[in-house]
Amino acid sequence: MPSARTETRTGAPAPAKRPAGRRVHRAWFVAAVTFVTVVAAAAFVALPGLLIGPLHDEFGWSRGTIGLAASVNLTLYGVTAPFAAALMDRFGMRRVVAAALLMIATGALLSHWMTASWQLILYWGLLIGLGTGSMALAFSATVTNRWFVKHKGLVTGLLTAATASGQLVFLPLLSWVVETHGWRPATVTVALVSAAAVPFVWFLLRDHPADVGLAPYGSDEFVPKPPPRRGAAGRALRVLRDASCSGTFWLLCGAFAICGASTNGIIRTHFVPSAHDHGMAMTAAASLLAVVGIFDIIGTIASGWLTDRYDARRLLAVYYGLRGLSLMFLPLLLGPSIHPPMIFFIVFYGLDWVATVPPTLALCREHFGEDSAIVFGWVLASHQIGAALVAWLGGVARDVTGSYDMVWLVSGGLCALAAMMSLVVRRVREDEPVRAAA
C-alpha cells in the first residue's frame, strides 16, 4: 500500500492528502470544468431537430435522408466512445477532449457552405459524430473513476446532466436564430461555442489527481498516475471481446439501445417536427424540449443520489417502465397549443430522460471493475445505435405514413422490454471478486 510519501512518475514526492488549508478538493474543480465542456459540446446536440424542416424546405431533401445523417452522427457518437476512453488512458483527457472540440467546430463551420446531402452526412455524420463521441459519457465516466472514490453516483448524475444543461441553454437560442436568421448562422454559433471551449479545457482540466499531488476525493491514499497504456484501439477491442462473454453485458446493451431509441432517436430528433405537424410553432416545441432539459438535470442528479443507495436494477426497471407508458400517451397530447397534459408529459419525461445513466454505469463498475469506463463506452455505443436506427426509421415512417404515431407506440413497447431486461441482470455477491474485462 502506498505511503503518504509515494512518489510520482517524475520522482517528486506526492502527499496522500489534500492540503489542510484547502476546503474544496480539486476533484470538484475538475468536475466543474468537465460539466462546462460537455455543455459546450451539447450545442450541436440541440441543433439537428431544429434543421429538419429548414433543410427539407431549402434543398428538398427527404426527412429520411436528413435522418440518415443524424443516424450516422448518433452511431459514431456511440462507437467512438470506448476508443476515446482508451485514448484518454494513452494520451490524457486534455488532448483528446481539445481535439474533439476542434472537430465539432470544424464540422459545424463547414456545414455553413454545404449544398449536397453527402456533405450533410460528411460534416454532421462523420466529423461531428467523431467529435461528440470523444466527448461522450465515457469522458464523464473517466473523470469520475479517476478523481472520485466517494459520491460517484452523484457526480455521474451531475456530469450526465451537463448535456441537458446545454440543451436548456442552446435550444431556445438556436431555435430563435433559425427562425429569425436562417439555419446557417445557427451552425456558425455551434462552431464558435465549441472552439471557445478549447482553451478552457487545455488550461484548466487535469488528467489525474497525481498531476497535482492529491489523493482522489473520498480517499486518504495517494494513487500514482499509471503509465500511458499503449494500443488504445486494441485494448478497447479486447475489453469488448471479454465483456461480450458476459450475459450482463448484453442485457445492459439491449436495454441501453432502447434507452437511446426512446430519447436521442425519437424525442430529440423528431419531437419538434412532429409537434410542428400538429400545428405547434417551432419555437414553442423547442421551448418544450428546453424544459425537458431543466427537469433532466433534476432527475439525473436525483438518480445518481438514489443509485448510491438502492438497487440499480430496480431503478432501471422503474425508469424504463414509466417512460414507455408516457410515450404511448404522447400521440394523444400533441396539438397546436401547449396545454397542461403536455406540460406534465414534458416534466415527467425530463425527470426520466437520462436518469438511466447512473444505475447503468454503476452496474458496469459492479461487474467489470477497472475496465468499467471502456465497457460503459461499448454499452453507450449500443445506446447510440438504437438512437440512430430510430432517428432514421422515424424519418422514413413520417415520409411513408405522414405521421409519427406508430413510432411513438413502438418506442413505448420497447421501453417495457428494457424494464424486463434490467430486472434480469444478476446481482454480484459481496464475496465475489470484481471482474476485470481485459
pLDDT at 22: 53
**Residue where the block lists cell 471481446:** 241
In angstroms, rounded to a whole number, what is the distance separating the alpha carbons of residues 249 and 27?
30
pLDDT digits (tens, 9 = 90+) for 128-172: 888 887 876 668 878 888 888 888 878 877 887 777 677 667 877
In angstroms, rounded to a whole number, what is the distance separating the alpha carbons of residues 106 and 318?
40
pLDDT class of 9 with cuts at 50, 70, 90? very low
pLDDT digits (tens, 9 = 90+) for 324-338: 998 988 888 888 888
pLDDT class of 255 with cuts at 50, 70, 90? very high
Closest to 53 in 3D by CA, of 292, 265, 275: 275
435 phi-psi bin (left φ>0, alpha ψ -120 to 50, beta other): beta
pLDDT at 4: 39
pLDDT at 315: 93
pLDDT digits (tens, 9 = 90+) for 371-429: 887 888 788 888 878 888 888 888 888 888 888 888 888 989 999 999 999 999 887 65
- Domains of the chain in start order, with CATH, are 26-211+230-424 (1.20.1250.20)
pLDDT digits (tens, 9 = 90+) for 46-57: 677 778 778 888
- pTM over 0.85? The answer is no
pLDDT at 420: 94
In angstroms, rounded to a whole number, what is the distance separating the alpha carbons of residues 416 and 121?
33
pLDDT at 20: 46
**pLDDT exceeds cutoff 60 at 70:** yes
In angstroms, rounded to a whole number, what is the distance separating the alpha carbons of residues 366 and 225?
23
Q: Which residues of 178-192 are buried (b: 16+ CB within 10 A; e: fewer)?
A: bbeeebbebbbbbbe
Residue 362 C-alpha from the chain's centroid: 15
Could you tell me what percent of the chain has a pLDDT over 90?
12
Q: Taking all residues of the chain, what is their mean pLDDT, rounded to a whole number? A: 81
With contact defined as beta carbons under 8 Å apart, do 322 and 378 qualify?
A: no
* Cα-based distances in Å from 209 to 11, 38, 95, 216, 417: 16, 20, 17, 6, 41
pLDDT digits (tens, 9 = 90+) for 227-245: 776 776 787 888 889 998 8
